[in-house]
Structure 1
Amino acid sequence: MTETKIAVIGGSGIYDIDGLEDAKWQAVDSPFGTPSDEILTGRLDGVKMAFLPRHGRGHVHTPTSVPYRANIDALKRLGVTDVISVSATGSFREEMAPGDFVVVDQFIDRTFAREKSFFGPGLVAHVSVAHPTCPRLSEACYTAAKDAGITVHKGGTYLAMEGPQFSTLAESKMYRESWGADVIGMTNMPEAKLAREAELCYASVAMVTDYDSWHPDHGEVDVSEIIAILTGNADNGRDLVRRLPALLGAERNPCEHGCDRALEFAILTAPDKRDPAMVAKLDAVAGRVLA
């Protein structure tokens, strides 16, 4: 068994958790650049926790400029075992209404201007993201939301767009009607892919703020309305997070779904052909299989 350390990547309202003990902000150096912000660490009900503002305190990063690789690498260096993404999304489903939460289990990645892998020339690896979220961790998030009295939907497909603009009406209709997406956001990719490469269990909780632009009765996305709903969602998000330590426990067995062994057979580059600089850079992400 290993010690559980839960990381929450989300907005500014989510890391302000009552009862977080020994709380401190700490800088973590990463060979992949500077993370979005310092990371708030502490203990909640005896379980180690880490909170990373995805856009930085004060919201200084666009969805494209978020340093996704540095963020995931930094969490891995801190000993994180489980990552929960909390993010605002639009909804393509009438029943997934503003204020509802969706525990996402699939993604369609339409981003195009981001580094999507820790690996590259000199050290090639291919991980499976057929099932990009961890069922065990997702179930814990769903249970926590239900116990908190939040209207929550189990399962859904998240369309990740580049942004920062919202969808056109034509795009919104295509994503909803032809592609079968359920929610839309700008930040869970490549975050989920990188978490898999780093052998971290990953779950995604989408907080619905609007109906994107497809809904005939709601018109285009209004940022002021999104912010108002986000404020209310933050309270629910904190309540969900507060319930996770009791559900996940202070110790954990190896992931039954293999998230923590995703690199077991993923690296293809022969040992004598591996770039030493790449090997050194991946000491946290892939050190288990490169040692």
Structure 2
Amino acid sequence: MAKKQKQEEVEEVAIAAVKPTKNPKPVKPDWEVKDRTYILTGNKEPLTFTIPGKHTRKHALLWYDSLKGEQRELRYATNMSSPFVDEQKGEVTLGHITFRDGTLHVPKERVALQKLLSLYHPMKKLRYKELIPQQIADDEIDAIEWEIEALNAARNMDIDIAEAIVRVEYGSKVNKMSSKELKRDLLLLAKQNPKLFLSLAADENVQLRNFAINAVEANIIRISPDQRSVHWTSNDRKLMNVPFEENPYSAIASWFKTDEGIEVFKSIEKRL
């Protein structure tokens, strides 16, 4: 009787020790299986454009494996599941990587080619990029916001600053422009290249450079024939030396920020 009771106690303890197992959390795969599209960079759309699919002396197709500490040779083989030569066993069938009209569509079944293009190919971002809808939307939003900011700045810009910025693009043609033509070209520059426009608008040297050009064109100061010095036109007194291989107008713009240059700037400003 005692032996039977002891056996029942052991069984109860064993049953109590068992814990229900939890369902393991699904692990996200390293590679998402999906169709992918690649496009050439620089808005280029040639009829056909082929990039290297194997390593040659002319076109190195290598990828540095930091875990192994070595360069691994790449090769596109249509009958292999890996783009690495050291993982391709047996006879291989080489394939061509050709963009048509600037685009290459790769179905999800061609995993080796997708991995080669998305992860390892040295020409990625240089000659082509993967088309990612979310990233494209983000880039387009950024571009639109840059354009809006630039156009708003151009619309409210003082005419002297506008002239300085447009002069960077069109040079002496600015002198023959009417105020409306100047405003039009300013808005076009802001629309076509908003980042450059905002950069020029924030650069005080652009305005000082334009001031120097106006002073020379008004015959208040002159630049020596060898472009190495700047003088008063009235008495030929030298104001400054131009550093070697520097644009004289850029040098004058920088000089206007010095103590002596500020006084000359004020004097010129009264005469313009």
Name the TM tier (shorter chain): under 0.3
Larger Rg: 2
TM-score where L is the length of structure 2? 0.19
Q: Which has the higher contact order (CA 8 A, sep 6+)?
A: 1
TM-score where L is the length of structure 1? 0.19
Q: Which has the larger strand fraction?
A: 1
